[in-house]
Amino acid sequence: METEDLTSRFGPLKIQDGESLKDFKKRMRNLKMAKEAQETMNHSDWVQDEYAESFKSALLVRGRTGIAFNDDMIMHKCEWDSGYPENPARYVAIMHRLNELGLVNRCVRIQNEHIDIDDITKLHQRTQYENLYKICEPFNVNQAEKIASNYDAIYFNKDTFHCANVAAATTLGLVRAVAEGRVSNGLAVVRPPGHHAQQDIYNGYCFFNNVAIAAAAVQSLAQKILIVDFDVHHGQGVQDMFYNNNNVLYFSIHRYEHGEFWPNLRRSNFDHVGSGAGEGFNINFPLNTIGCTDTDYMAIVTQILLPVAYEFNPDLVLVCAGFDSALGDEKGCMKVTPGFYGHLIKLLSGLAYGKLAVVLEGGYFLPSLAEGVAMTLRALLDDAPAFLLPMKDGPNDEVISTINDVKSVLCKYWKCFKVFENIGIKYANEEKHIVNVQYKGFEDSPPYPTRNCYPVVSQQEQDDLKVLVDCLKVDYGLPMKNKLCYVFDAVMLTHEAPEETVENPLRLQALYDRFLELELDKRCKQLEIKRVDFRALSIEVHSKEYLDDLINDGPSIPPTTHDLFWNSGSKISIETAVSGLITVCDAVMSGEYTSGVALIRPPGHHAEQSKTSGFCFVNNVAVAAKYMLDNGLAERILILDFDIHHGNGTQDIFYNSDKVMFISIHKFESGTYFPRSSNGSFDKVGAGVGAGFNVNVPFEINKMGCVDYLTAFFKIVLPCAYAFGPDVVLVSAGFDAGINDLLGNYKVMPQTFGHMIQLLRPLAGGRLIVALEGGYNINTLKHSMVFCIKTLLGDPLPPPSDMSRQKDNAHRTFTDVIYTLKKYWKFFNFEKRLLPE
């Protein structure tokens, strides 16, 4: 706003009729603060230094999702073995399910990119291209099968050359559209697949390496590319093509069984990390047992993939999406549910400004394949994700061992793992991990079988598994488009603050002004606040005597203190804040909206059962959680509090409950930082049936930043949340850990709060409710909350500004927390003392 707008808003610069000297001074102080905020925003150095991304990204909104496919690709089929798993039915099943759910029509159709021999031979030998043409034209089935025996798991027909070109062209068209920003993200449904195709050989159903060709073609648009490959078979072709390249990070999760599973390669193991300039940029996560579940994959994602991906900070994310790791696939023998793939896509979508292209690879059990692709596209479209079962059992022992193997070999390359070189000094005598490289496989050679060279499952078993997938499809329901609601009422500005008090109406007003300035109000629904029986609801959380005192006369505190004050507008503001949050909860839990934001004050998380504290009178979030539990709207609620001050009130209210998991990330300083209590320590884990459901992440020093907070999410928040499996997530959103805050002295950038929200979005079917708590630098507050709101709307996020090595003190905190939680949550069994190679 301009200065003249401020003057008109706050009135003339002189005492008005009926205005006291005290009120005039207060009005001038508010005007001065607003002018200073405006002047600071207009200072180019300041903006560039700390808030540049907030302004650059302000108008950056979510675009359309692209889809690329071509029906010609059904023509590629095996002429001599009708039972071959890689067949046209895969494509048909996928497209049928996507159309059945109405997903294709919601996307932008991306046409094939023109592709020729020069595009393909950037990575493949020219003879590989020419020989495929010669095999297919003219085509002789007997001769083709004989030639196929020279290649591992390959067949040809007269259309193979054409279809391989179409698959590569379709992939390139989609990837280029995403890289150029014509669409935000997208899916390419292609076959034959590509990730096994090597520079000079066809391999594993693959002829041309679709993703690798596309990655090489768009390097001028995206300098750093992350390729995530979750096909159950190792994509050795992609690995080989970028093994010496530090601009492409290849990350593969694959079944290995110490080399006894196809493709049986020694170089598919975790100790093959790249060479030359690419050393450290090839990451293999080999699975050495079958039956791996969502829990096992989520442990890999949170402990290895996300930390490295955020540190790498790619310009583009490509996914080799093979669904043969899904439930029922006879090749993979894994138990990943279709819904998990949507969660993975959501977790990756915070990277690269959301530029993410998913390309089909394998997947051979058609019900799981089709539903897995559908859940992937739903995630790209930003629909509400599937509910996953609570991951109480934790990852299996083989996965735990490999997590530590991978950390051990990567700690010399990636800052996120550097701390593991000296991990566990405090726990040195408990558990140690020794790296153990095993290889039991053999690398086969021609001739290869061309018929009956795949596992076969009985029809009865297939039917039973199909029933299971059909049940999951019912649970997933029809796609729910992302819809966001919010509440705001100017009456909450009447809870006026004494002079020099940081919790003042200007906080909420400035935030709301920024919200309107960016026209976010037009993209989400403002709810009319339903006035609730404030006392009846709050008495479930606060004592009768305390509420009576509060409602009748105001709290029994001195009339004016710096952290507690009361005036004629306080009661209505408190009632409106509680009513507003309850209104949002009703709207979200009814299914009318996916998520919601409560722009409310005064804050609440310090309010205890019978005590006011830290600007807080009634614990808004606690009242809302109890309301949802008591009314059957939710059975399990996760409350995440990232305000820099420990949410002591919320913790105390639910300390004995196993229905509410409370996680607080806060500044502690051995209990000397406000609220100055030992209750914020890592060893305060809950009591009775609530033991293990209270999680404190207490930082001990100043200047904690983006990397420390995001690492807390990867190592603690996400594992706890997925183990608990909430029905809804409530966020106590305080932004006083943000850069330049008057109270916090931390360095978390505004966009990083958006990333924290993004990482929470897959949980609870997307039911995420954000309620304002603290935050006392007005610029940091408003930019941070706007990032949270834009994230809930699916807008692209700029990267965190600083993902350097986490602070040693932060790592000691994480270690303390994890070793304490291991007693209650098996998900944390991965934490051991590492002895790097």
The number of beta carbons lying within 10 Å of the beta carbon of residue 82 is 8
Q: Which residues of 415-440 are buried (b: 16+ CB within 10 A; e: fewer)?
A: ebbbbbeebbeebeeeeebebeeebe
Euclidean distance between CA atoms 503 and 786, whole angstroms: 19
- Tokens describing residue 691: 């033991």
Q: How far is CA 571 from the centre of its chain?
A: 38
For residue 642, what are its two tokens? 């990232």
Spatial contact of 511 and 785, defined as CB atoms under 8 Å apart: yes
Name the catalytic one among 433, 606, 645, 666.
606
| Angle between helix 160-179 and helix 126-136 axes, rounded to 10 deg | 140
Catalytic residue from among 76, 124, 195, 196: 196
- Helices 338-348, 459-476: axis angle to 10 degrees equals 50
For the question of residue 196 being annotated catalytic, the response is yes
Task: Decide: 624 and 583 in contact? Cβ < 8 Å.
Answer: no
Encode 208-265 in three state secondary structure.
Answer: CCHHHHHHHHCCCCCCCEEEEECCCCCCHHHHHHCCCCCCEEEEEEEECHHHCCCCCC
**Distance from C-alpha of 382 to C-alpha of 99, rounded to nearest angstrom:** 17
Q: Find the farthest-apart pair of alpha carbons in the chain and give their distance in angstroms, rounded.
A: 101
Q: Are 227 and 320 in contact (CB under 8 A)?
A: yes
Phi/psi at 324 (nearest 5 deg)? -85, 0
Query: What is the residue type of 813?
Result: T
Calculate the alpha carbon distances from 249 to 139, 213, 268, 380, 820 in Å: 39, 15, 15, 22, 34
Q: Rounded to whole angstroms, how far apart are CA atoms 189 and 693?
A: 42
- Residue 392 CA to residue 619 CA, distance in Å, equals 29
Contact indicator for 73, 166 with CB cutoff of 8 Å = yes
Question: Are the C-beta atoms of 680 and 778 separated by less than 8 Å?
Answer: no
Amino acid in position 318? L
- DSSP code, position 713: I
Q: Concatenate the DSSP letters of all residues of 443-489 into one string.
A: ---SSPP-SS-S----HHHHHHHHHHHHHHHHHH-S-----EEEE--
Nearest to 527 by CA among 586, 470, 570, 478: 586
204 token code pair = 């594993």
Question: Which phi and psi angles does 334 have, rounded to 5°?
Answer: -105, 175
CA-to-CA distance for 373 and 377, rounded, in angstroms?
A: 6
CA 403 – CA 401 distance, rounded (Å): 6
C-alpha to C-alpha distances, 315 to 216, 228, 342, 752, nearest whole angstrom: 13, 14, 21, 17
Which helix (H) or strand (E) covers residue 345, if one does? helix 338-348
254 is catalytic: no
User: Catalytic positions, please?
Assistant: 196, 606
